[in-house]
Amino acid sequence: MTIRRLQSFLSLTEFFLISIFLSTGIAADQFPDKVSIQYAKGFRVEYHDSYKVLTVLKPWNQAQTMFQYVLVPRGNPRPSGYEEFQYIDIPLRSIVTMSTTYLKQLSELQVLDTLVGHSNFQYINTPEVINIIKEGRIEEVGDGINVNIELLMDLSPDVIMTYSVGNVYDSHPKLLEAGLPTVLNAAYMESTPLGRAEWLKFIAIFYNKEAEAERIFSAIEHSYNVLKRKAEQVDDRPTVLLNAPYNGKWWIPGGHSYLAAFINDAGARYLWEGIPSSGSREVDFEAVYERASEADFWLNPGQWRTLEDGLRSDERLTEF
C-alpha cells in the first residue's frame, strides 16, 4: 500500500469512528479526577461521563428519605431520567453557607471567592472569612425559619448549602418552596472525626476539585492517625465531661458519637462512653454531678467565656 493510499485509509477510518462517536452520543469522561469515600457513611457519588449523581443518604436522624442532586457541567445538556432530583450546574460560581463548618473547607479548597452569603456572622472564626465580611463582600442571610428569602433571591446563588435536624426550625423546606437551589450537608451525622472531615470531598465535588480534596484529606488522615497511635500508648487516661446544663438539663452525647470517638482517640476516657447512641441524651443535673463532679477535663461548655459565666447560669456548678 502506498503512503498516499495509507493516509486516505486512515482519514476514512478516523471519519468513520468520529461518525459513530457522534451518532451514538458517547461522551468522553469529563471527570478524570474522582473521590473515594473511606470513612463518611452519609453520602455517595456516582460518576457518569458527563454528569455526577450525588446522594445524601441520611440527612438527619430518623430521616425517611434521601436527597439526590444531579451535577452537570455548565452548558451541557441535562441528562434525562432524573426529573425528581435537583439539577445543579457545576463548577459552582456562588454559594451561600448555613453552617460555619463549611467555611474552613471552602478555604482549604481555595474557593472562598464564590462565597456570597452566610447565615449568621456571630459564630464565624475563620480568619479569611472575617476579612471578607469586613470588606463587605458577603451578606448575612439569617437562619432557620428566619432565613431572609428575599435577600437570597436577590443574591441568586448557585447553591445554598445547609443542614437539617428534622424539626420545624429547619430552613430547607422554606428554601425549596421558594425555588432556591438547596443542598443538604449531613456531615454532623457522622459518628467519627475522620468521617466528618471527609465531607470536604462532598463540597469539592461541586467545584470539580476532587484531586485537591483527596490530597487535603490524605494529609488530615495521616496527621490524625499519627496522633491517635501516640495516644494509644498512654497508660493514664484522664476523664472527660462534655457540655453544660440548659434549663436544669444536661444534654450528653452518646458513646458512639464523634465527640466520644475524639476523646477516646486522644487518649482520654469519656464518662458516658457506655451510652449506645451517636445522638445526645438528656441527663439530670444530679446524675451528671454524681458521675462527673471530679472529672479531669470539662470541654465544650456552650457559650461560656469564663467560669463566672457558668456560675451565673447555675450556682450549683460551684460544686464541680
| Identity of residue 144 | G
Q: CA 4: distance to chain centroid? A: 60
Q: What is the pLDDT of residue 138?
A: 97
Domain boundaries, the chain: 43-222, 239-319
List the pLDDT tens digit at each of the 320 positions of the chain: 444 443 444 454 444 444 434 443 445 899 999 999 999 999 999 999 999 999 999 999 889 999 999 999 999 999 999 999 999 999 999 999 999 999 999 999 999 999 999 999 998 999 999 999 999 999 999 998 899 999 999 999 999 999 999 998 899 999 999 999 999 999 999 999 999 999 999 999 999 999 999 999 999 999 999 999 999 999 999 999 999 888 778 899 999 999 999 999 999 999 999 999 888 899 998 999 999 999 999 998 877 777 788 778 777 787 77
Per-residue pLDDT, 27: 58
- Taking the C-alpha atoms of residue 261 and residue 266, their distance in angstroms, rounded to an integer, is 8
pLDDT of residue 23: 41
- Say what the pLDDT of residue 93 is: 98
Question: Rg of the chain's alpha carbons, rounded to an integer?
Answer: 25
Query: Smallest Cα–Cα separation from 150: which of 178, 188, 171?
Result: 178
The pLDDT value recorded for residue 20 is 39
Per the CB < 8 A criterion, the answer to whether 243 and 251 are in contact is yes
Can you give the pLDDT at residue 59? 95
Residue with cell 443538604: 184
Q: Which fold has domain 43-222?
A: Rossmann fold (3.40.50)
